[in-house]
Structure 1
Amino acid sequence: MPNRPLKPCNKIGCTNLTRDRYCEQHKHLAEQRQRTRRNDKEYDKHKRNQQARAFYHSREWERTRLAVLARDNYLCQHCLKEKKITRAVIVDHVVPLLVDWSKRLDMDNLQSLCQSCHNRKTAEDKRRYG
């Protein structure tokens, strides 16, 4: 079987060549990514509120999510307040979904956040709402 051609490692900034997605130095990133996906899938299937799970997989949420990201120019709204430019990857409910279900598609209750701001806000919500 012929060898696959060498290509740059998928790690941003790495110039090592590899036949796989990541070079030996960054191979752990692929494993970590796989583990995270598996854990997320298990959480979604067994622990997440099933009504919320169905909502987050709905067409209306996907449309609303894309509209919010476009409205916010795909920029993290918390970072913008700090005068930092960061790409938003998550649309977050200001008042959490499980606290007020009626606001689930309310554009005024939705904000675009980067991963780290979303993590901080989620931790804050857990302290506030339990």
Structure 2
Amino acid sequence: MPLKPLRICATPSCPSLTRSRYCNEHKTQQQEETKHYNKHSRNKTITSFYKSTEWKRTRELVLLRDNRLCQRCLREHRFTPADMVHHIVEVKQDWSKRLDLSNLESLCNACHNKVHGDRGKPVK
């Protein structure tokens, strides 16, 4: 199997070439930042909710209801497969709406990133 092509490290202003997202120096730094965020900033209640059986079942119901199509793309007459289910009112804003089907919509990754302003990894 051929090697991945070299590309510039994803850290701004780092000229190092790498076959992964970050060069070795910044990969370690990124891992430490992620570890710190997970330990001190991530909401453990919300994280465990997204791993729960009730969320997985509700998520599947929404995807089936929406025919596994991105609802925002569909409004623009484009047929794009949905990658995730989005909370219109976020879970951290209103915990009681976390499983409310009317508060959930199927979205593609691109639309989900637009909704959240490309703030990082999408929440499934």
RMSD: 2.9
AA aligned to 2:46 is: A
Alignment of 1:41-120 (within 5 A): 42=35, 44=38, 46-120=40-114
Alignment TM-score, normalising by the size of structure 2 = 0.67
Change (3 A) 1:121 1:100: same
TM-superposed CA distance for 1:26, in Å, is: 8.0
CA distances 1:90-113 after superposition (whole Å, capped 9, x unpaired)? 100011111111000000000000
Q: Aligned residues: percent identity?
A: 45
Alignment TM-score, normalising by the size of structure 1 = 0.64
Find the structure with the greater CA-based Rg.
1
Indicate the residue corresponding to 1:13 in structure 2.
Answer: none
| Count, aligned residues | 100
Unaligned runs of 5+ residues in structure 1 are 1-17, 125-130
Q: Is the 8 A contact 1:94 1:110 kept in 2?
A: yes
CA distances 1:15-58 after superposition (whole Å, capped 9, x unpaired)? xxx26xxx444899x834xx7xx79x745555321110110010
Paired residue secondary structure (2:113): helix
Change (3 A) 1:46 1:116: farther
Change (3 A) 1:60 1:77: same
Indicate the residue corresponding to 2:24 in structure 1.
Answer: none
Change (3 A) 1:59 1:75: same
Q: Which structure's residues are more often helix, by fraction? A: 1
Change (3 A) 1:101 1:24: closer
Unaligned runs of 5+ residues in structure 2 are 9-18, 22-26, 119-124
Using the alignment, how far apart are the partners of 1:80 and 1:114 within structure 2? 11
Indicate the residue corresponding to 2:116 in structure 1.
Answer: 122
